[in-house]
Chains A and B, each alone.
Chain A
Amino acid sequence: MSELHQSSEAHEQSHHVIAVKTYVMIYWVLMALLLATVLASDMPLGGAHLLVAMTIALIKAILIVLFFMHVYYSAPLTWVTAVGSFLWVGLLLGFLLSDYFTRGWLHILGK
């Protein structure tokens, strides 16, 4: 029956065995980024602190998702799932902030 099944190709990909060396390398990159994020928090970056911290966090998250969670070697559907969940958080935050940032714009008499 197995030859009838459609997704055996995706399976081949999902069982890709990643070399230990790759895992360890990713680990050291993560360590470097961790150190960078702590050091950056003490640097005089002005208003860019949040941006820098979030960029580093995002890179770390992407590395974990791509390699530790094997998305890099997975079927497109897994990519869509991973990206989609980030997108939906963005959607919530985006529309939410569109309210909060524009609340003061309209001058209401007596307020």
Chain B
Amino acid sequence: MHTPSTTTSPESGRQLLLHHFDDLEQQHLSSNLGMWFFLVSEVMFFSGLIAAYTVYRAWSPEAFHLASRHMDKWLGFFNTWVLLTSSLTMALAVRCSQVGDRRGIVRNLFLTLVFGTAFLGVKATEYRTEINHNLFPGKHFIVPGSPEDPHAHAAEGSHEGGEGHEGAAAHASDYERLREASTVDGKLDEEKFSRNKGHFQLMFVLYFFMTGVHAFHMIAGLALVALFIVLTQIKWFSGYGQTQIEVLGLYWHFVDVVWVFLYPLLYLIE
């Protein structure tokens, strides 16, 4: 059904018009707006998670702070840098498509691909460290320093010291500090303690889920970027794919914006 109503050679830089649109402006505007409204629904998707995060963090700030210390903020810093850079290259790729620089499109999309992959690589090593420390929620989850923790007796606070940015007061294990935070007038409030332990794990649930959903969006985006590199290379797009690349760019920047919020929310809790 989508027979183009005009055939143009890709070299001429003109774009094809689908049958149900009147002109290219209308077609471009529709695609652009369509992506925007898709992003609105994506924002609402993440907002459900942000809501859960807000409620539990307001409830147990101490547990969230302790859990956040297990995330390496400098790796997060690096990743944010990488992602912001990929956003720049993506923006430049969109610009190249607007001015009709095909080699520029390919170059910038390729850089985006490299940075995006680097982000996922770093994220994967972070996940591995956390899983090795029994911080993946579920039946293997152990609050560091708790009686079940195998590391607790072997090397007191060894992996915590390894993170380098702990003050001297931070030698107490998470377990002890959660216990401390649940003590009211020198008496341990069992209910509060169990809630604090729960929220400590909940932070990891939210961390893994939010960054996981974000990483899923990255993977989808990277697949599209790779596809677009090939399509631009073989001149599959009519024109220079202005509309398509611009829409992909919107998606990519959105994924970036999500990370801009996730980084301080997950890594930088004091």
On whether the beta carbons of B44 and A64 are closer than 8 Å, the reply is no
1/0 contact string of B229-270 vs chain A (CB within 8 Å): 000000000000010001001100110110011011100111
Task: Mark out the residues of chain B between 52 and 99 whose CB falls within 8 Å of any chain A CB in the assembled complex.
Answer: 54-55, 58-59, 73-74, 77, 80-81, 84-85, 87-88, 90-92, 95, 98-99
Tell me, yes or no, whether B9 is within 8 Å of chain A by CB. no
On whether the beta carbons of A81 and B37 are closer than 8 Å, the reply is yes
> Which residues of chain B are within 8 angstroms of A111 by Cβ–Cβ distance?
none
In the assembled complex, the Cα of A14 lies from the Cα of B88 at a distance in Å of 19
In the assembled complex, the Cα of A93 lies from the Cα of B43 at a distance in Å of 13
In the assembled complex, the Cα of A48 lies from the Cα of B246 at a distance in Å of 38
* A14-B28, A57-B264 known; A68 vs B36 contact (CB < 8 Å): no
A85 interface neighbour in B25, B28, B40, Cβ under 8 Å: B40
Tell me, yes or no, whether B29 is within 8 Å of chain A by CB. yes
On whether the beta carbons of A61 and B260 are closer than 8 Å, the reply is yes
> Which residues of chain B are within 8 angstroms of A11 by Cβ–Cβ distance?
25, 28-29
* A1-B23, A49-B270 known; A92 vs B47 contact (CB < 8 Å): yes
Chain B interface SS verdict (over half): helix
* A2-B22, A68-B253 known; A84 vs B40 contact (CB < 8 Å): yes
Q: How many residues of B contact A (CB 8 A)?
A: 55
> Which residues of chain A are within 8 angstroms of B265 by Cβ–Cβ distance?
53
In the assembled complex, the Cα of A104 lies from the Cα of B165 at a distance in Å of 37
Output the nearest chain A residue to B77 by Cβ-Cβ distance. Answer: A38
Task: Mark out the residues of chain A between 48 and 93 whose CB falls within 8 Å of any chain B CB in the assembled complex.
Answer: 49-50, 53-54, 56-57, 60-61, 64-65, 67-70, 77-78, 81-82, 84-86, 88-89, 92-93
CB distance from A29 to the nearest CB of B (A): 10
> Which residues of chain A are within 8 angstroms of B24 by Cβ–Cβ distance?
2
Output the nearest chain B residue to A23 by Cβ-Cβ distance. Answer: B91
> Which residues of chain B are within 8 angstroms of A38 by Cβ–Cβ distance?
73-74, 77, 268
Tell me, yes or no, whether B125 is within 8 Å of chain A by CB. no
> Which residues of chain B are within 8 angstroms of A100 by Cβ–Cβ distance?
55, 58-59
> Which residues of chain A are within 8 angstroms of B184 by Cβ–Cβ distance?
none
> Which residues of chain B are within 8 angstroms of A14 by Cβ–Cβ distance?
28-29, 32
1/0 contact string of B14-46 vs chain A (CB within 8 Å): 000000001111101100110011011001100
On whether the beta carbons of A17 and B99 are closer than 8 Å, the reply is yes
* A31-B81, A34-B81 known; A23 vs B95 contact (CB < 8 Å): yes
CB distance from A3 to the nearest CB of B (A): 9
Tell me, yes or no, whether A24 is within 8 Å of chain B by CB. yes
In the assembled complex, the Cα of A93 lies from the Cα of B52 at a distance in Å of 9
Tell me, yes or no, whether B169 is within 8 Å of chain A by CB. no
> Which residues of chain B are within 8 angstroms of A68 by Cβ–Cβ distance?
87-88, 90-91, 249, 253, 256
A-B contact pairs, 5 of them (CB 8 A): A11-B25, A42-B165, A64-B257, A81-B37, A85-B44
